[in-house]
Amino acid sequence: MSHKPRLLILITLAEAGGAQTSVATLLPGLTAEFDVTVAAHGSGPLRDAADAAGVPFVQLEHMRRAISPWQDTLALVELVRLCRRVRPDIVHAHSSKAGALGRLAAALARVPVRIFTVHGWSFAAYGGLPGRLYLWVERRLRRLTTAVVCVAEASRDVGVDAGACRAECTLVIHNAVDVAAFAGPDQLRGIPQVVSIGRFAFPKDFATLVEALAATRADYRAAFVGEGPLLPEIAATIRQRRLTERIDLLGNRGDVPAVLASADVFVLSSRSEGFPVSILEAMAAGLPVVATDVGGVAESVVDGETGLLVPPGDPAGLAAALDRLLTDGALRLRLGAAGRERARRHFDLAGFRRAHVELYLRELERRAGRPARRLSVAAEPGE
């Protein structure tokens, strides 16, 4: 039997998404130190990543994104049983639903270390009664949480200010990307190619992006990558705006580096964000980024240096930023090259993986009353 600490990683769904990509890139850096198990509902890229890393994957039967008292109760019971079967030393939960149910289940199963990564606070994304309910839940779960990982400084500030997490137990680990897996652009195309990647659901705002593209004066072709419940609505809007000859809906793709390599500009229109992995991938591919200035986006995109930031829900502002890049090939290449270098220096994988391993070891040692040991991993340039 292995004497490595046991780590159980929970996430709501195994489908394509930023949180899933973050976990997938983390897995290969964990197996040397930990016995890792991943659990999520459904199948998809995350399950493939677990298989590739040699990590057991448990398909959860009852976990769902939507709130349902009966379904959520079944999911909680399922997670408690999973914790008792796996007997993890650490439960690390990602995404809002798994974050809530996973921490509660881990506490009920007496797992000593319970960590939650915030990819975006639900209470900050939703207004009114839903937002107040999400905040109430987070405040109650705070005492059950050993450590909170925020993917952006902005998320940490929001959580601490709202009382959703304690400052002394909260740290920031930015998402990361394997820069070497992406090829930078090597030429300017006659008609610039725009690409956007994301789930067709709130808080992504493809509706504003379509309106911005309809108002854009420059020539372009665009591709939207992703799926989700709002896809039929966006497809109808594209038809109504007579943009079917300009905008292609590609669905989910397993070859994101190739998609980005065929593009000239990346755009992400959102109402709320944590620290989007899609932006890091675009930067690694050497693309200038046009994005809404929400959440931690400004911690990756430097306005005027690696891309352009615009207010959320502003199709005119988004159209103006797109026009600026689509009509200036030299500017596209300059911002894209600066973005790729920024991704290489600050958001590559080595520091991201090392930070998680050191967090796990530190919390385990703290529970055992011993000083934490540090890993002898060289820092990346610029860290």
Whole-number pLDDT of residue 17: 86
36 in Cβ contact with 9 (< 8 Å): yes
Upstream peptide bond of 112 is cis (omega within 30 degrees of 0): no
Whole-number pLDDT of residue 382: 38
Which residues on neighbouring strands pair with residue 114, listed in sequence order?
91
Residues 6+ apart with CB under 8 A from 94: 9, 10, 11, 12, 19, 22, 23, 116, 117, 119
Whole-number pLDDT of residue 368: 82
40/57 Cα distance (integer angstroms)? 8
Whole-number pLDDT of residue 383: 37
> Which segments in the chain show pLDDT lower than 50?
372-383
Q: Which domains does the chain have, with CATH numbers?
A: 6-176+348-368 (3.40.50.2000), 179-346 (3.40.50.2000)
Whole-number pLDDT of residue 370: 57
Would the pTM of this model clear 0.95, i.e. be above it? no
Whole-number pLDDT of residue 93: 98
